[in-house]
Every structure is written in structure tokens, then in C-alpha cells.
Structure 1
């Protein structure tokens, strides 16, 4: 039961993240091409999706999470770099004319509450990575004197600190600079390209775009690894032998093709970020408490027993509210559904 409850949200979040990375990386490749060559791009959006996916599959051939520490470091450095560049440029250029910070008019208090819950789901999706924690910890050496959980805890704290230092200044500075004029699709990078293309060095915009592309390529390998590991584990358990290299390449190519197909079929998927984050939120807010109860088996009705049950139930309720808020937002505002027509 534990595997069933954990496998779906982990695979779902990994797959959804990889599909989103294809969209982000491909659209940013297009911006980079335009900045470097200064002419309209000859490729269609679908062709850019294919270019990014093929590049990601070629790079995603390392065997396991333990072997991609360098890839993770590159992803972290590029993320810090492009977040810093976008934040500095947006703040230095100042606020746009006619910027508004008012919420849309005509919304009821109920709608505003549901929109706030949906925002929590989007934040959870932005801090995605909780589906990788146990996968990474499983590759680390562990013994009674130096259990892997201690090193993993320090790593998680540092990683989320870096993410917070990147995303919160970017969100605050970007909202101050652009307000409600931030593009619905593309976010801060598209806002920078749209509003400051003519008064900012092309080199800076091209460099920012390149950092986003590199980060998307490295992140694709990291978030896809749980899917790769699960496929190879099923083969190894069934055949009782290691997974051959050609089959590993086939598994990764198959997953990349599937992610490409979903990205092309459902180009409006980023509009569902709140829902994607909300469905996977129990992995962060509820599962650790319930796992602790099952593993440690504290005395019933003790302080630790009450504390973990309370936190686990609150986590499940909050996750449910986030999902309801995301669905409410989709129903209330609607989304522009366009199958097989990425922008």
C-alpha cells in the first residue's frame, strides 16, 4: 500500500515536471536563437520541442542519481545565475508605465480564497524536488555512526534555502516591476524579453536565455531519474539480471518521446501548475509524518503520536484544499485549451 500511495505522485510529479521543462526549454531556445542571429526563427514551436527533447535524451544517459552530482551542480549554478540576472535587470529598469497591483475586479471573497489556495499549489510546484529526496538518500552510504538521513537533512535544508533565495526575490521584484503585466505564459523571462528587448543588451538577454536552457536540460535528467530507475528496477526484478545498456537507452528514449508527445498534445499544461503541485503535496506535508509513525511506532496517545497524526492530517487537508482551489480557479477563470498547437 505504501508503494502504491507513493509511486503515483512521485511518477506523476516527475513526468509533469519533465513535460514542463520541455516547454520552458524549447521556448527559451527560440528566444536565444532570435537574440544571437537577430532574425525570425525558421523552426516551428513543435520543432523546437523536438530539438530540446532530443538533446535532453542524449544527455540523460548517466546510470543513476549518484552519478549526476555534477549535473545537479551545473543546474544549481545556472538557476542562481539566471534568477539573479532577471531580478537585477527587472529592478534596475524600474516599473513599467500603467502597472497595476489590484486584483481583478468583480471577484467574490470565495474566489479570492480559492485563488490563494491555488497559489499555494503553484508555490509547491516551484519548490518541486520532494519526490527526489528519498531517491537521492537511497544512493548514499549509511551506517550506524553516520546515517544517511543526517547528510540528507543538511542537503535538503541547503537546497531549499538556495531555492528560496532565488525565487522569492525574483517573485517580489518581478511583481514590483511588472505587476499584472507579466505574461500569462512564459513568466519573468518572457516579460524581460517583451518589455526590455530594445533597451537591454542582447548579450545579457541571450546569456539569460542560455542559462535557462542549460538549467532545463540538467533538470530534465534529475527529475526523470526516478522514472528511469523504476523501469530498470522492474526489468531487473523480473529477469534477475542487470539492465543492459541498450535497454537503458531504449527506456530513456521512450520516456523522452512520451514527454514530448504530452508537451505537444497539452501545451496548456503550465496553466495547471497549481493542480500538479497540489496533487503531489502530500509527499511533503503528510507522508513523512505517517511514515514516522509506521517506522518508529511511538506509544499510542503519547505527545509524538498526537503530534505526527495531527501534522499528517493537517497536511492532507491542506493538500485537498490546494487541489480544490486549483480546480475552482480553472472552472472560474477557464484556460485556453489548444491541443497540438504549442505557442
Structure 2
């Protein structure tokens, strides 16, 4: 064996040992229903609670169109990603950036995908730190209205404590029960949101459905901001390949079949959560609905406490789903590029540091949701709405003007418009609300 062959063989062995240790590829025993509740946990996050508010900014006509089109387009792009997981014979594209590298080349693929994917995953984790803390504070304030008021920062710190333990679960399959609880509670608090709206009553003669803003400029930019809120509600694509990587696959039984089965179940649940909350919440409260539908529910107290408790459980699971992708990137870089030895201490340092960073940013910027609408607009729309279509066109090269060609270009145009318009609306929202922002509030 020559020196080059020996080095190549050693490199293959090092990569195999690393893959057997890394969180995405260390366990490939997942079932189709793992795909279902992992995707529900990743998709149905705190974003569902903002959908009635987004509807109030767009109105019935445009709001309904945007909701339905987003569901259809993102289901289509999710199908593309599931199909492309094993498009290279004898190889599994286990990570989003590996799919990008297959389409655009080793370096360019990384430069295109990784910054956007990290923006989504880290941004969502910071937002969920804030969301979990605010939900705990809502429980505290509702359960004991006469108690001493406490800062949101303290509740974010309490919420983060569980992640310093859960983050050391080695891989996706090890957090499957947490993900299942998160998926179950997402369905629960969504049901509370639309159920309480129905109980409150839907009376178009009393409820005001006029635009939230009295000016044309305000209405236009409010609608742009609403597009970003809808885009945020469909952020699960950033971890779909990583979820699929946990499934066993053979030429006779490729993993795309059970994965797609799980995705279909997940998207049915997404529809059950999203559409009733968006439409019934807006129908009940109209233009006065809060940015979080649960805040609009003033009574009964026990229902508000229960709903916010479900939110806390859900965002615990969602945080772990999105964090697992970041853990895998960081640990892959340290082990494969920097040649660190895979060990428990390395994992403890990486994951504890990451949780601490997201905790610090969440406490420092409790108004991060406004910023996320701006920065996330550049990442949520591409990775979810049109980057899979561009990759599909680059790899499969469908015949020009064919049905596939037209479908992908329509999705690309929709996604690019979303990427441009959503940050504009979010930027105006940030400027208008800046005077209310307080660090460590």
C-alpha cells in the first residue's frame, strides 16, 4: 500500500469513527413516527401563536392566501429535500450543507448554506430562551397577581437551567421522548388558542376587522412584517435532513419512504394547529388581537396557566431539536478539521458553552423577536421556500418550461419576494418600537 493510499484509508477511518460519535449520524434506528413528532416539534413552535396577529396585519383575503400558499410551497420543498437525501448513489446527504455542497461544490455549498442555517438555528434558540422565560413569567403573574413582580431575565435564567442538562443527550434519538412531549403540547396549546377564541365568540358585527394601521404606509409595512412572521412559522426545513439521517436505509428500503410518511403526518398536524389558530383567533379578536394569542386570553386563569405551561414544555423540545444541528456542526468541525479526539469532555464544553451563549443573548435582548424578523428574513425564506428549489434545478436539471421547471421557479420567485419584503417590514417595526426596548428588562 502506497503512502497516499494509507493516508486515504486512515482519513476514511477517522471520518467513520467521527460519524459514529457525532449526534446526527451516531444512531440510525429511528422509526417513521420519530420523523412525525420531530418535524412537528421543529415546525409548530411559538410562531403559531403570532399567526392571528399576522392575519390582522394582512386582512382576510391576503392573510388567507399567504397561509395556504406557505403551507403548500413548504410541503413541496420539504418533499424535495426528502427526495434528495440519497440522490448521490452510495452516499447519504445527512446535513443541509452537504446537500448544498452536492449542488454548488465543496466550498461554495458551505458558504451558501451554513451561514443561513446557523442564523435560523441560533436565532430560533435565542428566541425560545426568551419565549420560555416570558411564558414562565406569565404563569407566575397569573397564578399570583399580588406577588412581587420579577424581571423576565430571571425567568429566562430559570428556563435555561433545564438545557444545561438536556443538551448533553448524545443524539436525536436520545431526545425522542422530549420531542414527543413537545409535539403533543404544541397541539394542546394550539387547541387552547383557537378553542378559547371560539368560546369568546365570533361576532363580525362587533369585532373590528379594519387594518391595524390608519395609514397606507403603515398597512403596507405591517403586511411585510406579517410575511416574516408566517415565514418564521415554517422553519423546520433547517433540520429535516438531519432528522432523516437518523433513519436506517438500504437500497431495497430507502429511508425516504418512512421519512415522507412521517412528514405527511406532521404536516396534517401543522394544518390542524396553524389554520384554526390563525383564522379563528383573528375572527374572534379582529384588529385588537395581541402579537401572542395567549396574551389576548384574559381568563380563566387556570386555562392561561395551562396554555403557557404547554408552551414551556414545547419550546424545551424545540430548543433541543434546533440546537442538535448546531452541536453537530461545531463537533464535526472540531473532530474532523481540528482533529480533536471525540470524547465526553469535548461534548460537555461545546454544548455548555452554546447554551450559556444563547442564555446570555436571550437575557440581554428580551426583545429579540423583533430583531429576528429582520435578520431571519434573509435566512428563513431561502432555506425554507426556495433554496431547495435552486438545488433541485442545479442537480436534476428539469427540461425548460416543463411542469417541474415552472413549479420550482414559481417557488423561487415567491421566496425571493418574501426574503426582500419581510425584513423591510421588520426594520420599520424595530424602529417604531425601539423606544420601548430595555436591556435586561
Q: TM-score range by the shorter chain?
A: 0.7 to 0.9
Distance 1:217 1:283 in 2: 23
- 1:151 aligned to which of 258, 281, 291: 258
> Where in structure 2 are there 5+ consecutive unaligned residues?
1-107
- 1:49 aligned to which of 148, 151, 156: 156
Q: Does 1:284 align with 2:384?
A: yes
Distance 2:319 2:430 in 1: 31
Distance 1:116 1:7, change over 3 A: same
Q: Does 1:253 align with 2:352?
A: yes
Q: Which residue of 2 aligns with 1:21?
A: 128
Distance 2:434 2:440 in 1: 14
Distance 1:116 1:12, change over 3 A: same
Whether contact under 8 Å (1:231, 1:251) holds in the other structure is yes
| TM-fit CA distance, 1:305 | 7.4
Q: Which residue of 1 aligns with 2:303?
A: 204
Q: Does 1:191 align with 2:302?
A: no
Q: Does 1:73 align with 2:176?
A: no
| TM-fit CA distance, 1:172 | 1.8
Q: Which residue of 1 aligns with 2:273?
A: 166
Q: Would you say how many aligned residue pairs link Structure 1 and Structure 2?
A: 332
Whether contact under 8 Å (2:370, 2:430) holds in the other structure is no
Distance 2:422 2:333 in 1: 31
Distance 1:289 1:86, change over 3 A: closer
Distance 1:83 1:255 in 2: 30
The DSSP-based 3-state class of the residue aligned with 1:142 is coil
Q: Does 1:82 align with 2:189?
A: yes
Distance 2:437 2:271 in 1: 33
| TM-fit CA distance, 1:151 | 2.6
- 2:429 aligned to which of 330, 335, 340: 330
The DSSP-based 3-state class of the residue aligned with 1:286 is helix
Distance 2:148 2:333 in 1: 43
Distance 2:110 2:352 in 1: 25
Whether contact under 8 Å (1:114, 1:328) holds in the other structure is no
Whether contact under 8 Å (1:268, 1:337) holds in the other structure is no
Q: Which residue of 1 aligns with 2:394?
A: 294
- 1:103 aligned to which of 206, 211, 228: 211
Distance 1:338 1:11 in 2: 25
Distance 1:64 1:39 in 2: 43
- 1:222 aligned to which of 282, 307, 321: 321
Distance 2:341 2:268 in 1: 38
Distance 2:263 2:271 in 1: 12
Structural RMSD (CA): 2.8
Distance 2:360 2:427 in 1: 27
Q: Which residue of 2 aligns with 1:317?
A: 416
TM-score (normalizing by structure 1):
0.85
Distance 1:255 1:152 in 2: 29
The DSSP-based 3-state class of the residue aligned with 1:231 is helix
Deviates more, 1:139-148 or 1:35-44: 35-44
| TM-fit CA distance, 1:50 | 0.8
> Where in structure 1 are there 5+ consecutive unaligned residues?
none
Whether contact under 8 Å (1:46, 1:264) holds in the other structure is yes
| TM-fit CA distance, 1:164 | 2.2
TM-score (normalizing by structure 2):
0.68
Whether contact under 8 Å (1:121, 1:276) holds in the other structure is no
Distance 1:147 1:318, change over 3 A: farther
| TM-fit CA distance, 1:3 | 1.6
| TM-fit CA distance, 1:106 | 3.6
Distance 1:26 1:160, change over 3 A: same
Whether contact under 8 Å (1:90, 1:174) holds in the other structure is yes
Whether contact under 8 Å (2:208, 2:286) holds in the other structure is yes
The DSSP-based 3-state class of the residue aligned with 2:170 is coil
Whether contact under 8 Å (2:239, 2:322) holds in the other structure is yes
Whether contact under 8 Å (1:272, 1:326) holds in the other structure is no
Equivalent runs, 1:128-147 vs 2, <5 Å: 128-147=235-254
Cα deviation 1:180-205 (Å, max 9, x = unaligned): 33334xx112221xx22xxx2x4333
